[in-house]
Amino acid sequence: MNLSDFSEIELIGKISRKIKLFSKNIVKGIGDDAAVVNYNKQYYLLLTTDSLVEDIHFNKFFAPEQIGMKAIEVNVSDIAAMGGFPKHALVSLIVPKNTKLDFIDKLYDGMNKKCRKYKINLIGGNLSNGKEISVTIAMLGFVEKKNLCLRSDAKANDLIVVTGKLGASAAGLKLLGSNKKGSSINYYLNPKSKLNAARLLAKYGINAMEDISDGLATEVRNICNESKTGAVIYKEKIPINKNTMIDSKKLNKYPYDLALYGGEDFELVFTINKDKLKKLNETKNGIKFTVVGKILPKKDGVYLLDKNKKTKLNRGYEHFNGNR
């Protein structure tokens, strides 16, 4: 069998069953946006890593600075999804030997810009020759123990909520691939994590949280898989970016599919009980969010409801199927 025969979650499951943990200090290993390790009485240590590979996560349309900025932002987004804040980072850089030195300078200019923004210490890494460019960040952060958010924390009857609007990044990627112009392109080339929003939400007593990197559908299914629950997403409630509506017409694409299955919006999806949501609504916190669904008992499954019609909620981007 080939990797393309497996979904990403199936492959992660196979890998995790081969792993044995040797420390009682590990709170969460494989299965969330970041690993969680006991640190002291107040904090957990968060560890995550993400790779940007040429022609997969960036292409000729990216300036070197934008690649560097994206490399930091996607890792900050993982730390944010746990309710935490970033602190240190290491960079593993693979580049062909004929790469111009100017590219490296500008790549690190981009990383340094974002590290200054988030007060992240870039403390080391690795350099290697290879056939294509690959930028891998290993990031360490912290979260107050009372604020930790895990995918496994969703409860039946929780409401499913998303920040911001969805679909613009996927529309931007498809515009570039079709040699078309549109406002969505900026969202794809310049992603931004929602660290401040995540930190505030964690303090309001939300349950599960995840960043939307592979499409809303995948993130909801990840939460349900870890929480052993089901879910319903109400299609008409999904907040679509107005630029996505405009640009999807140029692409002849259904905008809700871009939001559900496109990915790289880096907004947040979280679950919260209705009483705490009411308190969140009453607080002037500056976070724009929309209720898009509900957590159900596992036996009810995971589905999309569109005008009373139920359809299976498929997965979004799969790395080994290349369907973005």
User: How do residues 44-55 score in pLDDT, each as one tens digit?
Assistant: 999 999 999 999
Does residue 324 have a pLDDT over 60? no
Asked, for residue 14, whether it belongs to a domain, the answer is: no
Question: In the structure, what pLDDT confidence band is assigned to residue 15 with cuts at 50, 70 and 90?
Answer: confident
Question: What pLDDT is stored for residue 284 in this prediction?
Answer: 65
CATH of residue 195: 3.90.650.10
Does residue 323 have a pLDDT over 60? no
Burial class (CB in 10 A: 0-12, 13-18, 19+), 146: exposed
Question: What pLDDT is stored for residue 322 in this prediction?
Answer: 52
Task: For residues 101 and 170, state if they share a domain.
Answer: no
C-alpha–C-alpha distance, residues 8 and 11, integer Å: 5
Task: For residues 134 and 153, state if they share a domain.
Answer: no
Strand partners for 126: 92
The answer to whether the CB of 210 falls within 8 A of the CB of 269 is: yes
Domain membership of residue 51 as a residue range: 22-146
H/E element holding 197? helix 195-203
User: How do residues 243-286 score in pLDDT, each as one tens digit?
Assistant: 899 999 999 999 999 999 998 999 999 999 999 999 888 876 88
Question: What pLDDT is stored for residue 133 in this prediction?
Answer: 96
Asked, for residue 251, whether it belongs to a domain, the answer is: yes
Task: For residues 26 and 133, state if they share a domain.
Answer: yes
Does residue 1 have a pLDDT over 90? no
Question: What pLDDT is stored for residue 18 in this prediction?
Answer: 85
What is the pLDDT averaged over residues 6-24?
80
Question: What pLDDT is stored for residue 226 in this prediction?
Answer: 95
Task: For residues 116 and 172, state if they share a domain.
Answer: no
Asked, for residue 321, whether it belongs to a domain, the answer is: no
Task: For residues 271 and 165, state if they share a domain.
Answer: yes
Asked, for residue 198, whether it belongs to a domain, the answer is: yes
Task: For residues 159 and 294, state if they share a domain.
Answer: yes
Task: For residues 283 and 222, state if they share a domain.
Answer: yes
Residue 6 or residue 212, greater confidence: 212
Q: What's the sign of the alpha-carbon dihedral 268, 136, 34, 65?
A: negative
Percentage of the chain beyond pLDDT 90 is 82
User: How do residues 274-319 score in pLDDT, each as one tens digit?
Assistant: 999 998 888 768 899 999 999 999 999 999 999 989 998 887 666 5
3 state SS for 119-145: CCEEEEEEEEECCCCEEEEEEEEEEEH
C-alpha–C-alpha distance, residues 285 and 201, integer Å: 9
- CB count within 10 Å of CB 252 equals 8
- Least-confidence region, from 18-27, 68-77, 172-181, 209-218: 18-27
Asked, for residue 1, whether it belongs to a domain, the answer is: no
User: How do residues 137-195 score in pLDDT, each as one tens digit?
Assistant: 999 999 999 999 999 999 999 999 999 999 999 999 999 999 999 999 999 999 999 99
C-alpha–C-alpha distance, residues 5 and 17, integer Å: 18
Task: For residues 45 and 119, state if they share a domain.
Answer: yes
Q: Supply the DSSP string of 284-313, one letter for each residue.
A: -----EEEEEEEEEGGG-EEEEETTEEEE-
| Domain limit, last residue, from 122, 146, 170 | 146
Burial class (CB in 10 A: 0-12, 13-18, 19+), 9: middle
Asked, for residue 13, whether it belongs to a domain, the answer is: no
pTM > 0.85: yes or no: yes
Ranges assigned E (strand) in the chain: 26-28, 35-38, 43-53, 85-95, 121-129, 134-144, 159-163, 209-211, 229-234, 268-272, 289-297, 302-306, 309-312
Number of domain units in the chain: 2
Question: What pLDDT is stored for residue 283 in this prediction?
Answer: 79
Asked, for residue 157, whether it belongs to a domain, the answer is: yes
Burial class (CB in 10 A: 0-12, 13-18, 19+), 293: buried
Question: What pLDDT is stored for residue 14 in this prediction?
Answer: 79
Asked, for residue 307, whether it belongs to a domain, the answer is: yes
Task: For residues 158 and 281, state if they share a domain.
Answer: yes
What is the pLDDT averaged over residues 111-116?
98
Sheet with 134-144, strands from edge to edge, namely 26-28, 35-38, 43-53, 134-144, 85-95, 121-129
Question: In the structure, what pLDDT confidence band is assigned to residue 89 with cuts at 50, 70 and 90?
Answer: very high
CATH of residue 67: 3.30.1330.10
| Domain limit, last residue, from 107, 125, 146 | 146
| Domain limit, last residue, from 146, 177, 200 | 146
